Structure 1
């Protein structure tokens, strides 16, 4: 099949593609739900290279590739905290996020947990809702002096 989605463990060599995808997805996809100032501040998180290196080295961090290009990534923190899920702006609605989520959820179960938790953006909430995640609460989080609205969600296995 053409354009087959390959999943593999992230490596430090993927850092540039990961941070570019993170920034571009926020700018182009999340901009419909957040202010211009919020988008600018959120996207600037791509510049914290040390934090991204730590995520790749310390978390269960996987990437999705199509024809050797990174088109999505997801990572798991502390065994059952789904800390990040991003899909390239040009590859939305192709099943990439669903595939990454299934692998992350499998990892949570293999880690011996019965619940997976996440903080999800307004933009991502419908996707998580469609995958049987329940909203625990709506929250306001402060990041670099701005307040962001998002949701704490969880799913039981």
Structure 2
């Protein structure tokens, strides 16, 4: 696996939002219904939010050759707010590499744990990486209820 992890730039926003939308539509659709997927995927349409995330948070991308194949970002120094891997590059170690980089950043910033909200789809990935479920919850977004999990890992 030849991937490079680097800081995201505003120039990456089109690739990031396309990857986000395509992953939700093709991967998360296994665990959520059509209306939930449409609501969730619509977040990709607001490029201003993504540019703000890239500017304000620790936001990294994974590249293979020159293609962005995944991304992850931290909010508040310890909260993993997003981790997505391209639909055609699942189960190739990309999410693990992104998570290791994120966890290293959390430790550099001297936080004792990392927290995240995890979709049903991503739950097995995080459980396999020693995250514990804090709480199962229902969140409402754009009028749709989503089941997900608050998880944490002591570093």
Q: Classify the secondary structure of the residue corresponding to 1:40.
A: helix
Alignment match, 1:71:
69
Q: Deviation at 1:48? A: 1.2
Alignment match, 1:39:
37
Q: Deviation at 1:74? A: 0.2
Alignment match, 1:140:
138
CA distance in 2, matches of 1:29, 1:44: 15
Please give the residue correspondences for 1:24-35 in structure 2 after superposition, counting only pairs within 5 Å: 24-35=22-33
CA distance in 2, matches of 1:123, 1:131: 15
Q: Of 98, 120, 127, which aligns to 1:122?
A: 120
Please give the residue correspondences for 1:36-115 in structure 2 after superposition, counting only pairs within 5 Å: 36-115=34-113
Q: Classify the secondary structure of the residue corresponding to 1:75.
A: strand
Deviations 1:54-113 (A, max 9, x none): 100000000000010000000000000000000000000000000000000000000010
RMSD: 0.6
CA distance in 1, matches of 2:52, 2:138: 25
Q: Classify the secondary structure of the residue corresponding to 2:111.
A: coil
Instruction: Report runs of 4+ in structure 1 exceeding 4 Å deviation.
Output: none
Q: TM-score, normalised by structure 2?
A: 0.99
Alignment match, 1:17:
15
CA distance in 2, matches of 1:67, 1:109: 29
Alignment match, 2:152:
154
Residues paired across the two proteins, number: 155
Q: Classify the secondary structure of the residue corresponding to 2:39.
A: helix
Structure 1 unaligned runs (5+)? none
CA distance in 2, matches of 1:141, 1:130: 24
CA distance in 1, matches of 2:15, 2:51: 13
Structure 2 unaligned runs (5+)? none
